[in-house]
Amino acid sequence: MKKITFYSTLLITLLSLFAFKNSLIDSNLIRIQGGTFKMGSKDSDGLADVDEQKEHTVNLNTFEISKFEVTVWEWKQFIKANKMKMPVKPTWGWQDNYPINGVTWNEAIAYCNWLSKKEKLQPVYSKKGPNFICNFKANGYRLPTEAEWEFAAKGGASSKSFKYSGSNNLDDIAWHKGNSKGSPHTIGTKLPNELGLHDMSGNVWEWCWDWYNKDFYKQEKGENPRGPEMGERRTVRGGSWDSQPNYVRPANRISTEPNKTHEFYGFRVARTITK
C-alpha cells in the first residue's frame, strides 16, 4: 500500500510539473458547473468561528477556476514583463514549482489584468478614484469571489461533504503545520478534491475578491454574492503550510488589508463563463 501511495504521489507531481511548465494558466482552468450549496458553517458546529455563521443557501453561475495555485515561475513572468521586483525572499528560497507567496491583494489583481492582456482577453479590473472595480462580465482573469472559492473547495455539485477540501484525512490533500516542515511545497503533490482542484486546503492562503465583514453572512443575498460594497480588509481562504487543521476547512475565513501580505499568502485565478 505504501508503494502504491508513493508512486501515485510521484505521478501527480510529474503531471503537475508538466502542466505548469507548459502553460501559464489557460489549460489548467477547470469548469465549475454552477448550482446551489450551503455556504458557511452550522451554528451547531463547534469548530466554526463566528464569522462562518450563519450557514445559508447560495446560488452560483458556472465559472472557471485554476487547478493549481499561481506558481513562483508564473509570477516571475509577470514581474519580468512589468519590471517589478520579487517579494521578500523566503527562507526556503524561490522554487519555481512552489506557489508564489508574499504577494498583496493589489498585486494579485494586477497579475490577473496582465495575464488577461497577454492572452488577448478583456481585463476585469479598473480603478475609479481609490476604488477598484470588477467587471464580472469581462472574459479575463480575476480572483474568485468568496462564494465561488468555497463552492469549489467543497467540491461543487460533486461534493461528498468532506471536512477538508477533498478528504477527511488532512494529510492526503494538504500541506499544513503538521506535515509541511516549515514551508510550502510543489503545487499538485497532494491529492485533488472532487473537482480536480489541488491545494484548496493548505499550502498557501488564497486571496479572494470580496471585502471582509464578519457579520456579512447574516445579511448576504444568495444569488452570486460578491461581498460587501466597501470595507478595509479583503478575504483570504484555505489555510497554509503553517496552519492548524481548523484553519484549512473550506468554510474558514480570515482577512487582511489589500496592500499588505504575509509569507503565507498566495492566490489562484478564476474566470467568468461568457456567452
Q: 89-133, pLDDT tens digit by residue? A: 999 999 999 999 999 999 999 999 999 999 999 999 999 888 999
Residue 205, classed as helix, strand or coil, is strand
2-272 belongs to which homologous superfamily? Answer: paralog of FGE (formylglycine-generating enzyme) (3.90.1580.10)
Give the long-range contacts of residues 215-224, CB within 8 A, separation 24 or more.
215/51, 217/39, 217/40, 217/51, 217/52, 217/53, 217/54, 217/56, 218/54, 220/56, 220/58, 222/56, 222/57, 222/58, 222/59, 223/58, 223/59, 224/59, 224/60, 224/61, 224/145, 224/147
Query: What average pLDDT does this structure show over 37-50?
Result: 88
- Give percent above pLDDT 70 in the chain: 90
Task: Say which residue, 131 or 144, is predicted with more confidence.
Answer: 144
Q: Where are the domains of the chain?
A: 2-272
Q: What CA–CA distance (Å, rounded) separates 96 from 44?
A: 42
Predicted TM-score of the model (pTM) = 0.91
